[in-house]
Structures are given as structure tokens and as C-alpha cells.
């Protein structure tokens, strides 16, 4: 049946050419329309719920908001883990779903419904927001507006800056490529009414009356219409929407009493609801927009649109204004770099492949084999576009992996067709017969290669979700390659081959006799060497086993697995402390001296830098003397100095700054938010026990000679005055307890009485007391409260005050409070990995910490957790790959011994990987190198399949004495196909492995493993496989002779027929 199908396509050149050209055109169209992204389109199994409770302490937020939300979602189907963070005034709850939960959308809907049903305090004005993490709606750029002439913003400058920021935000959100714009450093505009408590006492006015009078006098509502012809409308518009109107409002008046305007007892002015954190960019306090792209737009398309919008805004609005725009964290840089790297390295690889094909094959064969690469890429582009895939880091990695592999089957087909043509067969018959002869080996090699990548579907962890897009791309490319090799290439070979000469009797002249090929001498040389080696087949096997054992020793003693080797970074993180007495403004002033060190490098090695004051690495509030700076540097290929070189230059200058108590430099780590490779999570609801455990753990970790920068990410404890009612007195004096609580909240946090629109923004009207009164609790206690008989009672007569200390933020996991301890690993000559550190801590440190606290739980998060998930996944994946490949080969050959011979290439291929990494000085073996090695298992056996298929087809020695010579003669006919497939595959990946046209850390490791593993695997195919085959045949003939007792030569001569071609 396969011959009939092959004949159909070989005889229809027009059809094959139309298919070929159609795929190429379709690929070009698909490239123009397919989206270019940084990451695949993945919806993570995480949901974040955020709520704001202004003025509440972390414990109150935990009690009234966080716990309520946690309890609402914890019991829902599909929920795996719930983590939360409660800080002053805000709550953040993260819900992790079970991995690959089949009803994920339903689970997310149930979470949204459960959150909407939560009963939260009335003071929470906005409903909790529920956000699902989707890479298709990814933040792509930070746009910062800075006032160039100011370090920190005063009221006037902030008003001006926020006016332009508001205009820019409107312009950005109107772009169809932008989904949303999240702003930070932007403060809500307010009209602030700051009452003087002394004036309240003087005029006997309770704060509740001031609140009531303002609220009652602010009105805007429709009243109806007049019943006349045109029905004119009547609207009540008595808004108190300016400071002047509020100042003129009488808060107390009457026939007998004195008329008192609000201006007499309060200061009314415009202002902003400013938080305690300060964010600066390039040394200036800023308003920053985090731009999130739309799911329908690619990252390059979205970034181009945003850049055009920003340029237009600068041109139209910021010509003669002291306001500038700084762009940071451009996510398209990595995409553009990777596209450039892959394009250039791919072009180099393609050129090397072409050179090899033309060198080993005739020009026409080389050309048509090489055209299989654009055919498969265009076919994959078409299918990927139709399937909704994007061009991203992961899919591009898949393309590079198989770019050289896709011509392997075409090489085998073309080489075999050429060999048949050389023997005198017609071009048509050679195309059909040659392709049919190698159909099953090629099919087996394609299927086993695909099988090697199937385990990527089953890896666990957030990074595994990205890798699930690698196998489909590989399947598409290999499937397209198989189709092109079987049905397109034979027709081209038949159509393009030149006509052969004719003898006088009309028979064709074999091509080999017309002109020999230079590689024929190489084949003969290889055959002679193999003929001399085969008598020592058992010794050769022992030598290869020795190499395997030696490489195993190197792996076990010299090499280490680490999730993400610390390659060159684009972010340098600097954290430190000012003096303990410094407030946020003092700290901001100190950081100016540090920022001056970075300023000369802007536009050269540095893109920009941001400074965060009173903010932790997790985003919560911390001490006001604490700062964190992130310096974004240009990509590696655009600077001469490495990140370590820059740190070496900057560190002495910054350490010399006066007033600096502590300084830590870090390079950001790929795939991790904290920047630290070691993160230990302590779970314990008892604060005292948890604090004790954290301090003990940190103390023991500091004693570990391999760790530095041990840090407890514990919240600061702030002074808190807890107010309790004097209930007997409150009842006796007839005071409503709710009025007491409301008066305290209005005086301290302030009460938002109402809001009104002002342009595109809402302006709050906030009632509170003067700033100097808030600095002294006694002033607050003097504020009067009205009782039921309209008498005034000071707050101090109604409450008791207890002074205490409470944390300003609280983290929880699965209902337990948590504290995290971070640490970095020292740079040493002998590398130690986070996993080895984790083993040390678990066996030596953890038991000492929890021996007296059995209720305390210690666990790892971050990179160590991800690494352990990955190593478990690789162990299972290896077993799966080996089993599936063995099963496929056993079915194909109907044998158990043949698959074992072929699969010997896998462990021996690992020898090449281990030796290559060791000799290259790469003792840390990363996640992506492991992925490349896993794929190698399917690729490295392809040559073995081709070699063994040929040996099985043509071998039929009559005696043991003929075995070696005949195997050498058969094996040399496969030399060209084996060498050429190896060269083309290696040529396709080596430019990327060594970064000849730009270095990519992720791809380089993967390609290095694939290239050198395949090179050594080829040696296995050419030497070890023939030796093992000869050993098996020799043993088989000897056993058969012993059983039958017949003359083996006679038996073989009677039954064996020599094949027509070799």
C-alpha cells in the first residue's frame, strides 16, 4: 500500500509542487499574522484576591477581611492552597488550584461568587478585586513620569505631575493593544477638612455634628419637572465641591446661638491621600504606570503601539514642561533579542547544513533536502497560527531543537535513492523503491523522537506549564518533515535527476560509473577500519563501558543540578538600611547619594533605576529606614562590562556613603521573585514561637559557611493603642458606643464623607483633625462626643487605653501565620547547589529548630521547591521515555534484543553530554540542559535505527569467519547517511549552543547537551553498534551449529541469498 501511495505522488509533479509552494506561501502569511510574545499563552492556576481597608492595622485586616475570604474559598472544589498577606490597610489572598484541574473555569467562577458573598466591614468602600493570572494579559512595560527639577514632590508639583499622568493614562488605555494600566505612586486627590479639637471644645461642637452638617448640606439629585409645555427639569445642585464652599458652610447656628462657619474651626484645603511608601525613578519621586497588554495583541505589537503613544504624548504635551518619561522593564527586549539570536544563529545553522548537504550529496539532492527546513517551518507556522499558538521563547526553543533534525529523514531518503540510482535503477523506480525501503526505519525514528518529548506534558510546577508547548511544535515539525520526505522529496528527486547516459544496447549507464563521489573513499576507509576493529569487539565494548563508568563518576562527584544557573542578569538589586531614627524622608535623602553613583551610567550600561523606600521585597510595608533599589542594565550583548564588573565598581563608592548601616548587592535570578536561592517558610500561629523559630533558624544558617545575606523577612512591630469602652460609664452617660468608634476613626484615619467627579477623577472629601493633634493621643482624647441629651463628653472619660506592639504585616499559608527566612549562596570555587543546601538544612538545622516546638512547620519555597518538583518530574520522565521507546522498537522489530542494541545509544549518548559540560567548565547542570538531554534520548537512537535496519536487511553470513567482513561492508553504506544526519543536526544547534550570533542562557544549555550528546552517540552508531551486532551474530551462529550439528557453511549457502544492493 505504501508503494502505491508513493507512486501516486512521484508521478504527479504538479501536485507536489503546488503543495510545496502553497505551504511556503502559507508560512509567510502566518508569520505576518501570528503574535510574537515573551511567554506562551498560559492561564496559571492562581487567583489573587485584593481588598482595601483604610486605617486598619494588619491584625484587624487579618481578622475582618483576610480570614473571611480564606474561609469562603478554602472548601471549594479544586482549591489546593491558600496563601495571604495582611498589611496596614490592605489584604491580598492568593488561591492556588490543583494542577491540571479539569473544571478550572468553574472553580474560578465559584471563587468569584464566594468572594462577592463575603460579609466585610462597612468602611470598605470598594469590593474585593479578583484577578486570574494570564500570560496573554501580561505587564509589558513600566512608564514612569518624573518631575525633573524635584527630588520629592510638594503639593504644587504633584498636582502638575498627576495632571499629565492622568492625561497619559487616558491615552494609553485607549490603545486597542492595551488591556489595562495599573498605576503606583499616584495619590487620590482630596479636599481635606482638618478640624482643630480645641475649637470644638471652645464652641461645644461634637465632631459628629460637623460630619452631619457637611453631609446634609451636600446634595445633588433630580427633583422632577414643571408641568408646563416644555417640561423644564428641576435639579437640586447644592454640591460642596470646593474648599471655598465648605469654608462658608455654617456648622452651628440658631436664633439664640452664635453662627459658626466651618472656616472658624477647621482648615479646608486641597491635598492628596499620601501613603508611607516612596517610589523614585532615576532619583525623582514618580508616578508609574504598569502597562498590561491585551490578549488579542502580541507583545511586540503592543510595545510598538505604547512607544508610539508615549512619543506622541511627549511631543504634544511635554515640550516646555519640566516633566520627563522614563521607560523601564521593557518585556519586548528579551523577545526581540531571542528572535534576533535565533534568526542569526538559525541562518548560520542553515548555511552550515546547506554546506554539508552539498558536500556529501550532489547539488540537486542537497538543495531539495535543504528545502525541507523552510517547508517544515512554514508548515509549523501555519498550524501554530490556526491552533492559536504564538511565537515566544518556548516555541522558538522547540524550533531550534529540531531545525537540524528535520532533514535527517530526508537525508536518508535522498541518500538511499541516490545509491539505487547509482546501481542502475531508473529514477522513478529508485524514488519509489528507495523511499519504501526506508519507510519503517524513518517512521520509527520520528516516533521515538516525538516520544522523548512527551514527558514534558506531565512535569509539575509553574515552569512546566511553559514547557508543555515544546512537544506540539516538535510534533508538527517532525510530522511535516516526514510528509515532505515521503511524498514531496521523492518526486523532486525523480524530476530533477539528470538523464543518464545509454550504452550501445540502450541500457542505462549507472551514475556511479559516470562520476565517482569523493566520499566513496571515506566509506572504504571506514569499512577497512571497522573490519580491523570487529575482531576486538568484546574489548571495544569493555572500553565503551569504561567510558560510561568514568562519565558516571564525573556526574556524581563533579556536577550538580540547579534549577536556574546564575547566568548574566539584567537587574541588579541593592538593599540596605539608613539609621534607625531615620524616617522615610531621611531615607529618601540618603538614597540620593547612592543614586548619584548610578546616574553617569544612564544611557550606557544602565537603562534606569528605581528606588523603593519603606517597602519589602514582597511588596509589604516595612521600616521607614529601609530601602531597595533595582538597577536595570542593558542586555549582555550591548555592554562590555558584566553585572559582576559593575557591582565591583559601584560597591566601594556606595559603601563610603555616610549614614548607611547595611548594604547588600544581589543579581536577580531567572524565574524567582525574591532574588535569593534559599527560602525557608516557617508556619506557626503563635507569634512568640514563630519569632523564636525564625531567629534560631537564622542564627544556625549564619553558621553555615556556604550561606551569606541571611535575612528574616519579618514585619516591623509598630506601637498600637488599643481602645476599650468604659461600658458602665458609657451606659450611664447615655453615649452611643458607635459614636465613640466613629469619632476615633474620623479623628485619626479620617472619614470620607462623599466624593464628587472632577474631570476623569473622583475627589474625596475627608473629615479629620489637624496634623499636630494626631501626634498626641491626649489631644484626640479631648475631642467631645455628644450623648443622648445633647451634652458633650470628652473621649477620655469614656475609654481605657492599652499600649502594645503589633506587626504591620501578616503572612499566612493554609490558615497559619508564616515568616520567611532568605539566604544567598557564597560564590566559591567548588560549587554548591540550593538542593545540597536544602539537604544540609533539613538534616542538620531543622531538627534543632523544631525539637521544642512540634507545632511549628518548616518548608522550602521558591527555587528549592521548584527544583525538587523538576527533579521528581525528570526521574519519572526518564522512565517513561525509555519504556515507550523500547515498546515502539520491540513492536517494529518483533524482537527484544534489537531494541536493546539500539537503545544503548542513550546511556552512551549521555557520556557526550557529561564530558562536554565538564570540559566546558559547566559543573552546574540546569533545568533547560536536562530538557535537552531528555530530547537527546529520542534523537540519538535515530542513526542506530537506520544502521540496524540496514544490517538486518542485508546481512546473511554463511560462517562466523564472514561476519566481520560482511558487517563492515554493510555498515559503510550507511556511513554517509549517519555522518550527514549528525552533521546537519549538530550544525543546526551549535551556533546557538556557543552564541556565535548572540548568547541565550536558556537555549545555550539545551543545545550544548543535544549537540555533544549526538556527536558521541554517532560514535556509538558507527563503532559500538556494528561490534555488538557482530557479537550477537557470532554467538547465534555458534549456538545454531551446536544445536544442529550441521555444517554451517552448507546450510547457509542453501538458504541464503545475497541482496541485490549494498
Smallest CA-to-CA distance from 152 within 287, 50, 5 is with: 287
> Could you give the 3-state DSSP secondary structure of residue 389?
coil
**What are the grid coordinates assigned to 839, written together?**
539537604
Arithmetic mean of pLDDT, 261-282: 88
| Residue 490, pLDDT above cutoff 50 | yes
1003 versus 789: the higher-pLDDT residue is: 789
Residue 41: its pLDDT value, please? 74
User: Does 41-136 match 190-226+235-269+732-786 in CATH topology?
Assistant: no
Q: What CATH number does the domain located at 139-187+274-330 have?
A: 3.30.70.1320
Cβ pair 193, 766 in contact under 8 A: yes
**Residue 289: per-residue pLDDT:** 92
Q: What is the pLDDT of residues 689-729, one digit of tens each?
A: 988 898 889 999 998 888 888 888 877 777 788 999 999 99
Is residue 516's pLDDT more than 70?
A: no
In this predicted structure, what is the pLDDT of residue 958? 56
Helix (H/G/I), strand (E/B), else coil: 592: helix
pLDDT of residue 567: 57
CATH of domain 568-668: 3.30.70.1430
Q: Which of 311, 294, 208, 213 is nearest to 253 (CA)?
A: 213
Backbone angles phi, psi at 196, to 5 degrees: -90, 115
Q: Per-residue pLDDT for 576 more than 60? A: yes
Q: What does the block give as the cell for 255?
A: 436664633
Strand partners, 193: 268, 767
Rounded to whole angstroms, the Cα distance separating 607 from 328 reads: 7
Taking residues 670-681, what's their average pLDDT? 69
Question: For residue 518, what pLDDT is reported?
Answer: 76
pLDDT tens per residue, range 51-62: 888 878 888 889
**Amino acid 513: pLDDT:** 44
Output the DSSP codes for 341-387: HHHHHHHHHHHHHHHHHHHHS-HHHHHHHHTHHHHHHHHHHHHHHHT
- Residue 59: CA atoms inside 13 Å, Cβ hemisphere, count? 12
Please list, in sequence order, all residues whose beta carbon lies within 8 angstroms of the beta carbon of residue 652, skipping any fewer than 6 positions away.
none
Residue 800 pLDDT: 93
pLDDT for residue 1062: 34
Residue range 41-136, CATH number: 3.30.70.1430
Cβ atoms of residues 330 and 141 within 8 Å:
yes
pLDDT tens-digit readout, 69-91:
999 998 888 888 899 988 877 88
| Cβ-contact 416, 981 below 8 angstroms | no
Q: Which CATH number fits domain 1-39+345-499: 2.40.270.10, 1.20.1640.10, 1.10.3720.10, 3.40.1080.10?
A: 1.20.1640.10
* Distance separating alpha carbons of residues 425 and 429, to the nearest angstrom: 6
Mean pLDDT of the chain: 83
Q: Is the pLDDT of residue 257 over 90?
A: no
Widest distance between CA atoms in the chain = 139
Mean pLDDT lowest for which of 10-24, 496-510, 703-717?
496-510
Residue 980 scores a pLDDT above 70? yes
The closest alpha carbon to 809, from 715, 681, 713, belongs to: 715
pLDDT band at 380 (very low <50, low <70, confident <90, very high): very high
pLDDT of residue 515: 53
User: Using only C-alpha atoms, what is the Rg of the chain?
Assistant: 38
Lowest-confidence range among 27-31, 496-500, 1022-1026? 496-500
Average pLDDT over every residue of 19-23: 93
Instruction: List the helix and strand counts (H, then E) for the chain.
Output: 43, 32
Reported as a pLDDT band with limits 50, 70 and 90, residue 23 is very high
976 has a pLDDT exceeding 70 = yes
Q: Can you list the pairs that 274-278 forms with residues at least 24 positions away whose Cβ atoms lie under 8 Å? A: 274/187, 275/187, 276/584, 276/614, 276/621, 276/624, 277/584, 277/612, 277/613, 277/614, 277/615, 277/621, 278/152, 278/584, 278/585, 278/587, 278/588, 278/611, 278/612, 278/613, 278/614
* 849/851 Cα distance (integer angstroms): 6
The mean pLDDT of 275-294, rounded to a whole number, is 88
Residue 849, H or E segment? helix 846-850
Task: Rank 298-312, 396-410, 927-941 by mean pLDDT and report only the highest.
Answer: 298-312
* Distance (Å, whole) CA 325 – CA 601: 18
Q: Any idea which of 229-238, 627-636, 663-672, 1040-1049 has the lowest mean pLDDT?
A: 1040-1049
Task: Give the mean model confidence (pLDDT) for residues 758-766.
Answer: 85
Give me the residue spans of the domains in the chain. 1-39+345-499, 41-136, 139-187+274-330, 190-226+235-269+732-786, 525-558+895-1062, 568-668
The CATH code belonging to domain 190-226+235-269+732-786 is 3.30.2090.10
Strand (E) or helix (H) holding 911: helix 905-919
Q: Which residue has the higher pLDDT, 999 or 204?
A: 204
Per-residue pLDDT band for 671 (boundaries 50, 70, 90) equals very low
| Contact in structure between 826 and 666 (CB atoms under 8 Å) | no
- Give the pLDDT of residue 563: 64
Is the domain defined by 525-558+895-1062 classed in CATH 1.20.1510.10?
A: no
Beta carbons of 481 and 410 less than 8 angstroms apart: yes
- Whether residue 268 has pLDDT greater than 90: yes
The pLDDT of residue 11 is above 80 = yes
Q: What does the pLDDT average to over 200-224?
A: 90
Distance CA 869, CA 863 (A): 10
Q: 279 by DSSP, 3-state: which?
A: strand
* Percent of the chain residues past pLDDT 90, beyond the cut: 18
Tell whether the model's pLDDT for residue 311 goes beyond 90: yes
Is the model's pTM score more than 0.95? no
Amino acid at each position: 500500500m505504501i508503494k502505491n501511495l508513493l507512486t501516486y505522488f512521484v508521478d504527479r509533479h504538479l501536485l507536489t509542487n503546488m503543495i510545496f509552494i502553497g505551504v511556503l506561501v502559507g508560512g509567510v502569511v502566518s508569520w505576518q499574522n501570528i503574535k510574537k510574545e515573551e511567554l506562551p499563552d498560559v492561564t496559571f492556576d492562581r487567583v489573587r484576591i485584593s481588598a482595601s481597608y483604610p486605617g486598619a492595622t494588619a491584625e484587624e485586616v487579618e481578622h475582618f477581611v483576610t480570614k473571611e475570604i480564606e474561609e469562603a474559598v478554602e472548601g471549594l472544589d479544586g482549591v489546593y492552597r491558600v496563601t495571604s498577606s495582611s498589611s496596614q490597610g490592605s489584604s491580598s489572598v492568593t488561591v492556588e488550584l490543583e494542577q491540571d484541574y479539569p473544571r478550572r473555569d468553574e472553580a474560578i467562577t465559584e471563587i468569584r461568587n464566594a468572594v462577592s458573598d463575603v460579609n466585610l466591614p462597612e468602611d470598605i468602600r470598594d469590593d474585593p478585586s479578583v484577578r486570574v493570572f494570564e500570560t496573554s494579559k501580561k505587564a509589558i512595560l513600566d512608564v514612569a513620569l518624573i518631575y525633573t527639577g524635584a527630588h520629592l514632590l510638594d503639593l504644587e508639583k504633584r498636582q502638575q505631575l498627576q495632571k499629565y499622568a492622568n492625561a497619559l493614562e487616558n491615552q494609553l488605555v485607549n490603545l486597542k493593544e492595551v488591556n489595562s494600566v495599573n498605576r503606583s505612586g499616584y495619590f487620590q486627590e482630596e479636599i481635606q477638612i482638618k478640624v482643630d479639637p480645641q475649637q470644638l471644645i471652645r464652641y461645644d461642637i461634637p465632631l459628629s455634628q460637623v460630619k452631619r452638617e457637611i453631609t446634609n448640606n451636600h446634595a445633588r439629585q433630580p427633583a422632577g419637572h414643571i408641568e408646563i409645555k416644555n417640561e423644564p427639569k428641576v435639579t437640586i445642585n447644592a454640591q460642596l465641591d470646593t474648599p471655598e464652599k465648605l469654608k462658608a458652610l455654617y456648622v452651628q447656628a440658631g436664633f439664640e446661638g452664635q453662627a459658626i462657619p466651618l472656616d472658624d474651626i477647621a482648615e479646608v484645603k486641597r491635598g492628596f491621600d499620601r501613603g508611607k511608601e516612596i517610589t523614585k525613578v532615576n532619583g525623582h519621586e514618580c508616578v508609574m504606570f504598569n502597562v498590561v497588554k491585551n490578549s488579542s495583541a502580541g507583545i511586540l505589537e503592543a510595545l510598538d503601539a505604547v512607544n508610539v503613544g508615549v512619543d506622541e504624548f511627549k511631543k504634544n504635551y511635554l515640550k516646555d514642561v519640566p516633566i520627563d518619561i522614563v521607560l523601564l522593564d521593557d518585556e519586548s527586549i528579551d523577545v526581540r533579542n531571542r528572535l534576533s539570536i535565533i534568526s542569526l544563529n538559525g541562518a548560520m545553522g542553515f548555511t552550515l547544513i546547506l554546506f554539508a548537504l552539498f558536500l556529501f550529496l550532489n547539488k540537486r539532492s542537497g538543495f531539495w533536502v535543504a528545502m525541507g527546513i523552510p517547508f517544515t517551518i512554514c508548515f509549523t507556522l501555519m498550524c501554530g497560527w490556526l491552533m492559536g499558538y504564538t511565537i515566544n521563547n518556548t516555541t522558538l526553543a522547540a524550533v531550534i531543537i529540531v531545525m537540524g533534525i528535520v532533514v535527517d529523514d530526508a537525508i536518508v531518503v535522498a541518500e538511499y535513492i541516490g545509491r539505487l540510482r547509482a546501481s542502475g535503477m531508473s529514477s522513478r523506480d529508485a524514488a519509489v523503491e528507495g523511499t519504501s525501503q526506508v519507510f519503517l526505519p524513518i517512521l520509527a525514528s520520528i516516533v521515538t523522537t516525538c516520544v522523548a518529548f512527551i514527558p514534558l506534558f506531565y512535569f509539575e510546577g509553574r515552569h512546566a506549564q511553559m514547557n508543555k508547548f515544546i512537544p506540539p511544535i516538535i510534533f508538527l515539525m517532525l510530522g511535516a518533515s516526514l510528509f515532505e520526505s515521503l511524498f514531496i522529496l521523492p518526486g523532486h528527486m525523480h524530476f530533477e535527476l539528470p538523464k543518464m547516459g545509454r550504452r550501445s544496447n540502450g541500457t542505462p549507464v549507472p551514475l556511479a560509473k559516470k562520476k565517482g563521489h569523493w566520499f566513496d573513499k571515506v566509506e572504504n576507509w571506514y569499512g577497512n577500519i571497522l573490519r580491523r576493529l570487529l575482531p576486538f569487539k568484546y574489548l571495544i565494548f569493555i572500553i565503551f563501558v569504561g567510558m560510561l563508568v568514568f562519565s558516571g563518576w564525573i556526574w556524581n562527584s563533579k556536577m550538580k543540578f540547579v534549577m536556574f544557573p546564575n547566568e548574566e542578569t539584567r537587574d541588579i538589586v541593592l538593599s540596605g538600611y539608613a539609621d534607625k531614627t531615620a524616617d522615610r524622608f531621611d531615607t529618601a535623602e540618603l538614597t540620593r547619594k547612592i543614586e548619584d553613583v548610578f546616574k553617569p551610567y544612564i544611557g550606557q550600561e544602565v537603562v534606569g533605576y528605581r528606588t523603593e523606600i519603606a517597602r519589602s521585597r514582597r511588596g509589604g510595608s516595612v521600616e521607614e529606614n529601609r530601602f531597595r533599589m533595582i538597577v536595570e542594565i542593558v542586555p549582555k550583548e550591548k555592554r562590555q562590562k558584566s553585572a559582576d564588573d559593575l557591582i565591583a565598581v559601584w560597591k566601594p563608592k556606595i559603601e563610603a556613603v555616610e549614614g548607611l548601616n547595611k548594604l547588600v548587592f544581589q543579581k536577580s535570578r531567572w524565574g524567582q521573585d525574591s532574588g535569593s536561592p534559599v527560602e525557608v517558610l516557617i508556619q506557626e500561629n503563635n507569634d512568640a514561637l514563630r519569632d523564636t523559630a525564625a531567629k534560631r533558624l537564622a542564627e544556625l544558617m549564619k553558621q553555615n559557611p556556604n550561606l551569606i545575606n541571611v535575612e528574616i523577612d519579618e514585619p516591623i512591630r509598630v506601637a498600637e493603642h488599643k481602645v476599650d469602652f468604659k461600658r458602665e460609664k458609657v451606659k450611664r452617660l447615655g453615649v452611643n458606643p458607635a459614636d465613640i468608634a466613629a469619632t476615633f476613626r474620623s479623628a485619626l484615619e479620617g472619614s470620607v464623607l462623599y466624593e464628587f467627579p472632577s474631570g476623569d477623577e473622583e475627589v474625596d472629601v475627608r473629615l479629620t483633625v489637624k496634623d499636630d493633634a494626631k501626634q498626641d493621643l491626649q489631644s484626640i482624647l479631648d475631642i467631645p462626643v455628644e450623648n443622648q441629651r445633647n451634652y458633650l463628653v470628652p473621649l477620655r472619660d469614656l475609654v481605657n487605653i492599652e499600649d502594645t506592639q503589633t506587626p504591620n504585616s501578616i503572612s499566612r499559608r493554609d490558615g497559619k501565620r508564616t515568616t520567611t527566612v532568605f539566604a544567598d549562596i557564597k560564590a566559591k570555587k567548588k560549587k554548591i547547589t540550593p538542593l545540597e543546601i536544602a539537604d544540609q538544612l533539613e538534616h542538620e538545622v531543622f531538627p534543632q529548630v523544631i525539637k521544642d516546638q512540634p507545632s511549628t512547620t518548616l518548608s522550602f519555597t521558591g527555587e528549592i521547591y521548584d527544583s525538587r518538583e523538576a527533579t521528581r518530574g525528570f526521574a519519572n520522565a526518564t522512565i517513561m521515555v525509555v519504556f515507550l521507546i523500547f515498546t515502539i522498537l520491540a513492536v517494529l522489530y518483533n524482537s527484544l534484543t534489537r531494541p536493546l542494541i539500539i537503545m544503548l545509544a542513550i546511556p552512551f549518548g549521555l557520556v557526550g553530554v557529561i564530558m562536554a559540560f565538564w570540559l566546558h567548565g559547566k559543573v552546574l547542570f540546569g533545568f533547560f540542559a536536562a530538557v535537552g538531554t531528555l530530547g537527546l534520548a529520542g534523537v540519538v537512537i535515530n542513526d542506530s535505527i537506520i544502521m540496524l535496519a540496514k544490517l538486518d536487511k542485508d546481512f546473511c553470513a554463511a560462517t562466523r569467519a564472514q561476519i566481520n567482513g560482511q558487517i563492515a561492508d554493510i555498515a559503510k553504506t550507511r556511513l554517509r547517511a549517519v555522518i550527514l544526519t549528525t552533521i546537519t543536526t549538530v550544525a543546526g544547534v551549535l551556533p546557538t549552543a556557543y552564541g556565535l550570533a548572540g548568547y541565550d542562557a536558556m537555549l545555550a544549555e539545551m543545545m550544548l547537551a543535544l549537540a555533544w550528546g549526538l556527536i558521541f552517540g554517532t560514535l556509538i552508531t558507527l563503532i559500538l553498534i556494528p561490534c555488538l551486532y557482530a557479537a550477537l551474530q557470532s554467538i547465534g551462529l555458534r549456538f545454531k551449529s551446536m544445536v544442529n550439528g550441521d555444517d554451517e557453511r552448507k546450510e547457509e549457502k542453501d538458504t541464503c541469498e545475497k541482496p541485490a544492493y549494498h
